[in-house]
Structure 1
């Protein structure tokens, strides 16, 4: 085996797809790209997200306590990267990148109609924001866009390359310990 820097750990453990996070600051929507997130528990569904003061959305999430996490498909790969390369303090990203929105039910941040999934979230724990930029969010509503033909997701490897999600492996019959989960 060859040893590499421990700073590369996130490149092998990043578990979930790259996502887009929407916010709304007094009616002005914004969107950012995020790769550092994790499921924390099943019920209530809690999600940990790293959003720091370097992100324009940071202050909005602190002030409003809400956001939407949207999961894009592979067909939005270039848009996802481009959204992450500019700041909402100077660019209307929805307009620049032609992202279509829909109104959410419980939060003021918009859903992204072009994405596979949208999760309306509220901040339920801020204790780790100060030391780690870690927000704990509770998923309040889950929207699945069943009309999307492209179903594959992107997984960032931390260096500008991505792994593309492909097919599925069904081992439900073997998962006897977790059958009670929805």
Structure 2
């Protein structure tokens, strides 16, 4: 084993997936790129990291709702561009030709171009760590979409693209929670 810079240790654990998070402040929709996400247990509870430095954060905090949209590798340039400009200055849906689709349970829109969308409500904000905890309300997947490979941020400008799936469910036996 060789020494590795501790300041870059997060790149060893950073799994992604990279997501787009949409919000609505009641007047305008916005979208931000988030590279830190987490599934909490075997439930529709998720966490993202964001804070007041992101324009969308005020709408997320005020409305208490958002949509997590899961883009695929063919959208990487759009995903990066969304993350490098502010919704305070530009309408990102218009600028990046993203199609906002009305959600059923929240005011924030789904993104038609994404593989999947999850409508969420905020259940906690852990300000000390800039973690927003979300409960999923509804989930949608575009099974007809040809590209299904998602992006995973390494954290230093590199990305990993999903590849082949290895199914080892039979080895898990009855250790999986019911319904999984």
- TM-score for both structures, normalised by structure 2: 0.96
Which ranges in structure 1 are unaligned for 5 or more consecutive residues?
Answer: none
The aligned residue for residue 64 of structure 1 is 63
| Partner Cα distance (1:151, 1:168) in 2 | 12
Residues 100, 111 of structure 2: 8 Å contact kept: yes
The aligned residue for residue 123 of structure 2 is 124
| Partner Cα distance (1:145, 1:107) in 2 | 19
Say which SS state the counterpart of residue 9 (structure 2) adopts. Answer: helix
The aligned residue for residue 28 of structure 2 is 28
| Partner Cα distance (1:3, 1:168) in 2 | 31
The aligned residue for residue 93 of structure 2 is 94
| Partner Cα distance (2:40, 2:131) in 1 | 12
Q: What's the offset of the Cα at 1:48? A: 1.2
1:86-110 C-alpha deviation (Å, 9 max, x unpaired):
0000010000000112110000000
1:54-81 C-alpha deviation (Å, 9 max, x unpaired):
1111111110000000000111000000
Q: What's the offset of the Cα at 1:85? A: 0.5
The aligned residue for residue 14 of structure 1 is 14
| Partner Cα distance (2:164, 2:99) in 1 | 27
Residues 15, 38 of structure 1: 8 Å contact kept: no
Q: What's the offset of the Cα at 1:3? A: 1.5
Residues 70, 118 of structure 1: 8 Å contact kept: yes
| Partner Cα distance (1:111, 1:10) in 2 | 30
Q: What's the offset of the Cα at 1:12? A: 1.5
Which ranges in structure 2 are unaligned for 5 or more consecutive residues?
Answer: none
Residues 17, 36 of structure 2: 8 Å contact kept: no
The aligned residue for residue 109 of structure 1 is 108
**Matched residues, number:** 179
Indicate whether 1:41 and 2:41 are aligned: yes
The aligned residue for residue 163 of structure 1 is 160
Which deviates more, 103-112 or 130-139?
Answer: 130-139
Residues 16, 154 of structure 2: 8 Å contact kept: no
1:136-180 C-alpha deviation (Å, 9 max, x unpaired):
100110010112111101111111111110110011111111152
Q: What's the offset of the Cα at 1:5? A: 2.1
